[in-house]
Structure 1
Amino acid sequence: MARVRVRAAVRKRRPSLVSKYQGKQPQSIQLSNHLRPASAIIEKLSQQDAPASIQGRGCKRKQSSEDTFEASPDPDQKQLFDRITFWVKERRWPEVPYCSRPTLEMDPAIKDLLATRAQSNLSRTQLSRTQSIDLTSVMTRSDETRGKKSAPYGSPLYELVLKSKGSMMNQSDLGITDMSKTLCRTLLETEQTIPKDSLFGDDVFSYTCRMVRNKNEARIIQDITRLIVPRAETFAAFGAKHLEILTESVNEGWNSSNPLIGARPQPDYSVGFKEDAFTKDQLDKLSPFIGDLISGDKSFLMATHYIYFPFLTCEVKSNGQLDVADRQNAHSMTLAVRGIAKLFRAVNREGEVHRQILAFSISHDNSCVRIYGHYPVINGKDTTYYRHIIRKFDFTELDGRDKWAAYQFTKNVYDKWMPAHFKNICSAIDQLPTDLDLDVPARSEAAGLPQDLGNPMQLDAGSASMPV
């Protein structure tokens, strides 16, 4: 009995939990001597937290707890309301917070690299690998005559158009890095084996120069272009295994590239990487940025539908029109450098390509050659594209002393520079995210085109380009 009286005395002196915290509760939800139902608490909280614009309207309909959740700016409070609502309905607490999963915003650099979808009436399911389709009816005709494709570049005003898109036909104030300067010297000076029994042979060189003088572009390409800019695939065919990852195009429009301006490039010759150069995992990571080939998607990383990451172009002219060739090359190589810059920005490594030469172009006619290196200048979120003059010369002077200089330079690009460039590209691809939930088929599973269909115009008899 004594123990009972002690407990009763203590109970009288100790204030109840309700009275102790009553003054600290919001006025609209002060508790009485007995606990209110959870539904009543929710209703009171909803009335308190409702926006003033809703409270002052005099609406007849009471605001529901779901409406309050959407209006509440505090995610913790919303989660608490959700848990209470779940308990009221289910009479048990949820095992995990009963709230919507947060939506993660895509990195702007990743979003900027994504392929541009084409407006097509053909559904992706209709164009599956298992379905037979007419490729020539789906693909855009890519070739134009040499005169027509050069027309937009004929005026010096085209350089202002390029400038408006961030492509400068000059060197930047700081120029290229010391590493790129050393690279240029190496590519110019490292000796290579030259062909035997060619039209540049010492005994026939003078005759060759007279033969191509005042001739048109097709004739110059036919006779001497491959002695100035040799073909990568020819070297691969004769045993250069490290060049088997390369592929090339001849007078083919870059229809798979995301355009910079209205006209798309159509270089006389271009080189890049073939699809087989990359692993299946790398192709799967690239798929959101390549898009759907058959539907006509455009990519920052493609030239033609089978050339990835182009890095070399050549334009040929006659009758002193090398300025036109330079504008064409500047356009093409801006797209090439832009793709690399965007890729490295997407993986937070843009500093590695700042002021570094990432592509090369060669313009030539029947006697003169101009060699350029192309590079980006990155300033925060802005990227501007420039070119660096590597060399300009007349290969007919001094009895053809420098006639093999461009050939040697191009071969060194393939042998000395390209392998390291490819390794850097692959390392950046490996860092791309793998969890992008986009409606794009994996590149390794998407319907592809055989590489021998690289020039659709050649499918029509009599419309093939001049062989070189």
Structure 2
Amino acid sequence: MKRDAPSEWDGEERSANARRRECSIGKPELLETENDNTESLQPISQLSPQFDNTNPATLNPQDARPTSLTNANTELGDGIYEWIPAPSDIDDLETMNQPASKVSRSRSTSKDWERARSLSSENSEGSSIWDTRSAVYADDSYATILEMKGCFEQESPAGPMPEDIALCERLLHQPIETPRGTMFEDECMKKFHHTLHSRSEERLLVDLHPLIMPSAENQFIKGNQSLKDVIDGYNNLWLKTEPIYGPRPQPDHARGLKWSTFSESQRHKLGIQPDETSPYTAREDMYFPYLTAEIQYGDYGLGVADCQNMHSMCVAMRAVVSLCQAAGCMEELHRKILAFSISHELNFFRIYGYYPEVKDGQVSYYRWPVAGASIWSKENRWTCYRFVQNLDREFLPIHTNRLMRMLEQLPDPSGDSDLLESQLPGTGSQDQPGSRRAASSQNRGLQPELRMMVQTSKQRLAEQRAREEKREAEWKERESEQKAREGTLLAQLEQQRKEQNLLQERLFALLEQNIKSK
């Protein structure tokens, strides 16, 4: 708080007080007398309730006889100091002065904040390396809970399809033209690396990250027409989808498809609306994300970035899996890489590919380690940049065409909407057109769920029919086996009967011979 400069009267008063203290040393009676007369030495504040602008004594500080120091403090507390905010309010004011991105990522309870600070020290710029969001992913139990929900931070025993592994190799090594005049030039790299040492994640995001994962929208502005349907997101909370567990994903950088990628009929099939949640939506203007990046600080933070990317990519894969379930083509996604992520800090990076495995109707998500190395080695400085450029050229069309092919297999929900509208209570020819349109718009959001229910019912009917046919075949087989056994038994009985008859005939013949011989 800014204080006013001391007045001339204040200086004179301090000098008089000092002289009185010097004279009263060793004389307790003088101290007591001075304390008793303190009431006559303190001027009345103009903000005090006792101030009277008609009293000359209150207007002239030299003639004033104010109250005691204790009473003055009590009264001034209701006056001069009343406007001073409490410490908590001051903290709120400091928080309000921060940038919006910092406020959204730094607000937390005191317990979570202390826990985050206990995980790591602060960097030289004063912003904490660990915020509450990172602390959640740093918990050892988080990965275990993800595994319980079918998300594994490892590759499966079978791994992705061989053609997808070959795709990853091409994305890594296919030559590209690297940009010139950047901080990755030989004459700049050493100083650039030294400048970024012990700096915040925000600094890494601004200066280093564009050389690892450039902005798709900026590249489109520069002429890359293949990115016209791609949108970037920086530290945006994925509010339009549900998390797997814990907080919603909030990647430092993400790429997805724009709203304009899909036609009106396709959006109608998906049932997505800008103001509604959807399994296919990450945020208001991003659909089906396929690439995320997380930035952390230090070697231990790189593991946290991997965990954050795992959560985001499981949510992204879940969107594609939901679309496949609605289209009834789940087998097309088995062990197919659907998305990628980049985790990096100042010195190292890691690239992963993510794929689902479908077994007995259950879906599990895995990741495949694509690459990992030092950012500052001469042979790897452009590895991530090259991977992203090749991903835009080769994987993005695969991702988009896969979604379009699934959308073609979805039935047109317009007929279903009319059927649902006719089955709603109170609907019919007597209803107003406005109410019918409102009901139709409400039903449109139900179409993905209804299609999934229809596909599930068809699948169950097919499984039941297959089980019945299998039981019938087994029954016929058992029946034929039983008939065969019965025929064998009859043949054996007939053979035994013939043998018995033969024995009887031989016995009678022997008896006749014995009789004749006698």
Instruction: Give, as a single letter, the amino acid of the residue that structure 1 aligns with 2:200.
Output: N
Question: 1:393 maps to what in 2?
Answer: 373
| More helix as a share of residues | 2
Q: Does 1:408 align with 2:386?
A: yes
Q: Structure 2 counterpart of 1:203, which letter?
A: E
**Deviations for 1:409-464, whole angstroms, at most 9, x for unmatched residues?**
0111111110121011011112212234375739999xxxxxxxxxxxxxxxxxxx
Are the counterparts in 2 of residues 269 and 314 from structure 1 also a CA contact under 8 Å? Answer: yes
Equivalence for 1:324: 304
Please name the residue that 2:147 is paired with.
Answer: 163
User: C-alpha offsets along residues 285-323 of structure 1, whole Å, 9 cap, x if unaligned?
Assistant: 111xx3x543xx432111111101000000001122100
| Shift, 1:352, TM fit | 1.2
Q: Is the 8 A contact 2:296 2:345 kept in 1?
A: yes
Task: Tell me by how many angstroms 1:401 deviates.
Answer: 2.0
**Change beyond 3 A, Cα 1:143–1:308:** farther
Query: 337-346 or 266-275, which moves further after superposition?
Result: 337-346
Say which SS state the counterpart of residue 198 (structure 1) adopts.
Answer: coil
The SS at the match of 2:340 is strand
Q: Unaligned stretches of 5+ in structure 1?
A: 1-140, 446-468
Q: Determine which of 343, 351, 354 is the counterpart of 2:334.
A: 354
Change (3 A) 1:443 1:364: farther
1:444 to 1:198, Cα distance in 2 relative to 1, 3 A = farther
Q: Secondary structure at the match of 2:165?
A: helix
How many Å separate the matches in 1 of 2:268 and 2:442?
Answer: 5
**Partner in structure 1 of residue 277 of structure 2:** 298
Residue 262 of structure 1: CA displacement? Answer: 3.0
Q: How far apart, CA to CA, are the structure 1 residues paired with 2:249 and 2:365?
A: 16
Check the 8 A contact 1:284/1:442 in 2, yes or no.
Answer: no
- 1:441 maps to amino acid: S
Match of 1:219 among 181, 188, 203: 203
What residue identity is the alignment partner of 2:313? M
Query: Using a 3 Å threshold, how does the CA distance of structure 1 residues 276 and 403 change in structure 2: closer, same or farther?
Result: same
Q: What letter matches 1:386 in structure 2?
A: Y
Structure 2, unaligned runs of 5 or more: 1-101, 107-129, 421-438, 446-518
Is 1:434 the counterpart of 2:412 in the alignment?
yes
Look up the match of 1:315.
294
Partners in 2 of 1:339 and 1:267 — Cα distance?
17
Helix, strand or coil at the partner of 1:429: helix
Partner of 1:144 in structure 2? 105
Q: What TM-score, normalized by structure 2, do the two folds share? A: 0.55
Partner deviation per Cα, 1:224-263 (whole Å, 9 max, x = no partner): 1010111111111111112110111100100001221231
Determine which structure has greater relative contact order: mean sequence separation of CA pairs < 8 Å that are 6+ residues apart, divided by chain length.
Answer: 1
**Distance change in 2, residues 1:237/1:275 (3 Å):** same
2:175 corresponds in structure 1 to: 191
User: Contact (CA 8 Å) 1:142, 1:254: kept in 2 or not?
Assistant: no
- The amino acid that maps onto 2:293 is C
What is the alpha-carbon distance in structure 1 between the residues aligned to residue 252 and residue 131 of structure 2?
12
Residues 368 and 393, structure 1, Cα contact 8 Å, conserved in 2: yes
1:374 to 354, 359, 373: 354
Q: Give the letter for the 1:330 counterpart.
A: M
Note the C-alpha offset of 1:143. Answer: 4.1
1:420 aligns to what? 398
C-alpha separation in 1, matches of 2:232 and 2:132: 22
Native 8 Å contact 2:274 2:285 kept in 1: no
Matched residues in 1 for 2:103 and 2:298: separation? 26
1:274 maps to what in 2?
Answer: 258
Q: CA RMSD in A?
A: 2.1
Per the alignment, in what secondary structure is the counterpart of residue 214 of structure 2?
coil
Give the distance between the partners of 1:242 and 1:281, measured in 2 at CA: 23
Alpha-carbon distance in structure 1 between the residues aligned to 2:321 and 2:290: 13
- 1:283–1:444 CA contact under 8 A, matched in 2: no
Residues 236 and 243, structure 1, Cα contact 8 Å, conserved in 2: yes
Tell me, in whole angstroms, the C-alpha distance in 1 between the residues paired with 2:148 and 2:103.
26
Aligned to 1:283: 267
Q: CA deviation at 1:351?
A: 1.2
Cross-structure match for 2:220: 236
Asked if structure 2 preserves the Cα contact closer than 8 Å seen for 1:280 and 1:444, the reply is no
Return the match for 2:315 from 312, 330, 335. 335
Give distance in 1, aligned partners of 2:444 and 2:292: 27
8 Å contact 2:355–2:365 — kept in the other structure? yes
Counterpart Cα distance in 1 of 2:249 and 2:255: 13
Q: TM-score, normalised by structure 1?
A: 0.61
Q: Is residue 160–residue 368 contact of structure 2 (8 Å, CA) maintained in 1?
A: yes
Contact 1:376–1:386 (Cα < 8 Å) also in 2: yes
Match of 1:123 in 2: none
Q: Is the 8 A contact 1:286 1:443 kept in 2?
A: no
Instruction: Tell me if the contact between 1:143 and 1:251 (Cα under 8 Å) persists in the aligned partners.
Output: no
The Cα of 1:211 is off from its aligned counterpart by 1.3
Residue equivalent to 1:247? 231
Amino acid at match of 1:423: N
Alpha-carbon distance, 1:345 to partner: 2.2
Amino acid at match of 1:361: S
Name the structure 2 match of 1:13. Answer: none
Q: 1: distance between equivalents of 2:349 and 2:279?
A: 29
Please give the secondary structure, in 2, of the residue aligned with 1:311.
strand
User: Any idea what SS the aligned residue of 2:352 has?
Assistant: strand
Q: What count of residue pairs does the alignment treat as equivalent?
A: 298
Does the 8 Å CA contact 2:253/2:293 hold for their aligned counterparts?
Answer: yes
Shift of 1:283: 1.0
Using a 3 Å threshold, how does the CA distance of structure 1 residues 353 and 155 change in structure 2: closer, same or farther? same
Query: SS of the residue aligned with 1:393?
Result: strand
